[in-house]
Structure 1
């Protein structure tokens, strides 16, 4: 009896290697299916970057270095609507620890409110942009600003280059180089265009405006500059090696605002976006043909 029992156990154990192999194969197939790499351009804790509609629920606690514009950019809101939703009056100053709410009020399908634009100081007549940043009397930013990991220099206005030829809408190319990534409106993560170039290559302002964000607080964009051109349009310049402008500074089309780099990405390139009332639009429809 003892011998027969050992034989039965032996036969049972003979099946174990096959079962173990099957479990391992199933595990491998599951890992392969679920291990797709996803690039996230949004801040940690934000909604999925595949959604183009503004976040309409929840809240965000202001961090050091945030501005109203950077928060609106991050969560897909028009800055005027976000200010109105949270009762933030001009000059739109926010402070660390302040709560920004995104829930849409009853009767609204999406944010439509309009607020007064911030007052910005223009350069004096007959003078070029100074080597020192022109700080507006009312600057919509969180203060004090955190220390930057890299020294920030201020770029003087430069003569328009070949890239500064304007389109009929007044926009110019932000950098020289081949186009390696296009805008997609089908839920893709690319909300702008990507331009390849050399490390340290000049990044240019695509139109006249005021710098409303300069920092690295938005994950996936690296060292980022956001320029406000009007109450309707802002533009964004990501993955820079070094920023050459400060928040509140006035810039002119074709002015060097940064050096191209690879912060927040895997190669040297410029990620460029244009947003109309907070919504990403195809930059190629605004830039001149080349």
Structure 2
């Protein structure tokens, strides 16, 4: 593995993991209606993800991808018919429970009482501007913060790490950058105008990675997430005061 790059296999694994973690619990999944499931075939409905279908049908994400020749970033379409290996009993019991909660809460979810202490890592603001939509723990609430700004203004890495996703294949996020920080953290930067980094690239804290835009959004803004062990945590709890450099 060369400096600043991931090997092909390692990179694909990292991308797949990053996308699954972002989709699991993302605020963009607003539909709680289960898709049509009969025997060994599942028909995709609006708001579905492979993770959600996996939980409903008892078929692992890896197996769903293999059976249906789906590669990262695991994009599926409404109306698409997927082969599954789960049982009708599994799907039925999933429907009786809160399918939205089951679908968007990964098994490794970290309760708020166990979130990492403030100051454990040194985060900086990814851009300047007013927070127009804060983080919310409500079901279907915003799993990050939305920051208003001007088209083209810099978006920077909130911490040092490795870029694990650059693209626009995730519906509702527009031009998206995801950075992995060690084993426990991933940050996400959505709705960008331009993307200035590549997959596998090492970045420093404060390094420019994109410019602000409105891709996948109604107006110019940055949607920013910090995820700890798959769980979206409140960025404002860990960022320094607006306009201030981190003290750590």
Query: Distance between the aligned counterparts of 1:279 and 1:219, measured in 2?
Result: 20
1:41, 1:218 within 8 Å by CA — same for their partners in 2? no
Residue correspondence of structure 1 range 35-50 to structure 2 within 5 A: 41-42=28-29, 45=44, 48=47
Residue correspondence of structure 1 range 70-89 to structure 2 within 5 A: none
Local SS of the residue matching 2:55: coil
Residue correspondence of structure 1 range 62-141 to structure 2 within 5 A: 63=70, 66=73, 111=107
Query: Distance between the aligned counterparts of 1:236 and 1:55, measured in 2?
Result: 24
What is the number of equivalent residue pairs in this alignment? 163
Choose from 242, 246, 249 the match for 2:201. Answer: 249
- C-alpha RMSD over aligned residues: 3.7
Query: Distance between the aligned counterparts of 2:170 and 2:30, measured in 1?
Result: 5
Shift of 1:41: 2.1
1:43, 1:220 within 8 Å by CA — same for their partners in 2? no
Aligned pair in 2 of structure 1 residues 54, 203: CA closer, same or farther (>3 Å)?
Answer: farther
Shift of 1:56: 2.5
Query: Given the two structures, how large is their TM-score scaled by the length of structure 1?
Result: 0.48
2:151 pairs with 1:199 = yes
For residue 267 of structure 1, what is the aligned residue in structure 2? 219
Larger-Rg structure? 1
1:207, 1:229 within 8 Å by CA — same for their partners in 2? yes
1:241, 1:260 within 8 Å by CA — same for their partners in 2? yes
Aligned pair in 2 of structure 1 residues 186, 102: CA closer, same or farther (>3 Å)?
Answer: farther
For residue 184 of structure 1, what is the aligned residue in structure 2? 136
1:40, 1:220 within 8 Å by CA — same for their partners in 2? no
For residue 278 of structure 1, what is the aligned residue in structure 2? 230
Aligned pair in 2 of structure 1 residues 263, 234: CA closer, same or farther (>3 Å)?
Answer: same
Query: Distance between the aligned counterparts of 1:54 and 1:283, measured in 2?
Result: 29
CA deviation profile, 1:181-231 (whole Å, cap 9, x unmatched):
100001133110000111011101000000000001110000001100011
Query: Distance between the aligned counterparts of 1:249 and 1:178, measured in 2?
Result: 29
Structure (1/2) with the larger strand percentage: 2
For residue 229 of structure 1, what is the aligned residue in structure 2? 181
For residue 91 of structure 1, what is the aligned residue in structure 2? none
Shift of 1:285: 1.1
2:121 pairs with 1:169 = yes
Which stretches in structure 1 are left out of the alignment for 5+ residues?
A: 1-38, 72-98, 113-166
1:42, 1:220 within 8 Å by CA — same for their partners in 2? no
Aligned pair in 2 of structure 1 residues 197, 232: CA closer, same or farther (>3 Å)?
Answer: same
Query: Given the two structures, how large is their TM-score scaled by the length of structure 2?
Result: 0.56
